[in-house]
Structure 1
C-alpha cells in the first residue's frame, strides 16, 4: 500500500469516527449517500478520463513526448506545457489521467508541473464558464493576465526542486 492511499484511508476513518460521534449511524449513512450522489455525477467522466489517458499512451509515441516535453526539452518543453493547459477542460477527473499518461510516456517534471499549473490557473473554459460569470470580467481577466507568467516560472522552479529531492 502506498503512502497516499494509507493517508486517504486514515482520513476516511477519522471522518467516519467524527460522523459517528456527531450523529451516530444516521450521520455516517448521510455521508455515504452524498458520496454516492457525487459518484453518480462523475463516474462517466472518470471512465472517459482514464480511457483518454490510456489512449494517449498508445497513440502518441513516447519518443515524441520525450522530445517535446522530456526532461531535456528545456524552455521549449516548459513553454509548450505551460500553455497547453489553457485548452484543457473537464476538471481533475479528465485532466489528471491525461497528465499522468504524458508523464508516464516520458515528459519531464518541469513540463508536467507547468502543465498542472496552467490547467489550474489558465483554463480558458474555466475562465469563460466560471470565473467571468461569478466574479465579473474585470477581476477575472486581471487575475488571468497576472497568472499568464506563472506556469513557466513554476515549471522551471519545480524542475529544480524535483532534482533536489530526487
Structure 2
C-alpha cells in the first residue's frame, strides 16, 4: 500500500517544514508515503468561495485514480485515538487497498465533487488548525500509527 497526503499551498514556516520533513524521513522505513502540494489557486481574490473550492477540487482530482481510497481531513469527520487510527490503517492494508489518499482542503473546505468522490472523513480534532499545521500533525500521527503497528516504543499508553 502507498499513502499520499494532498494539500493546497506550500508550507512557509521553517519550523513546520523541519517537522514535516523529519516525519517524512521516518515514514519511509514503514510505508511508501508522499506529500502532494498543489499550488495556491491564482487570482483567488477575484473568485467566490465556491469558485475557489471548485478550482481546488479540479486540481485535487487530477491526483486521484478510480481505485484509490480517499479520506478527507475534516473537522466533522470520524475521530480516532492513535491506537484506533493504527488499527484503521492495518485494516486498509489487510483489505488490499493499493493507494490510500488523505486530503487537506483549501481555506474554505471541500467542493461537493471531492466530497462525492471521498470514501470517508477523518478529524484530527474538533478544533480548527491552520492547514500548514495539519500537515505536521497528520505526518506525526501517521508515523505514530506505524510505530504502534510495529510494536516500537514511540507511543506510550
Rg bigger for which structure? 1
Greater fraction helix:
1
Q: Normalising by the residue count of structure 2, what TM-score does the alignment of the two structures yield?
A: 0.26
Structure 1 or 2: larger strand share?
2
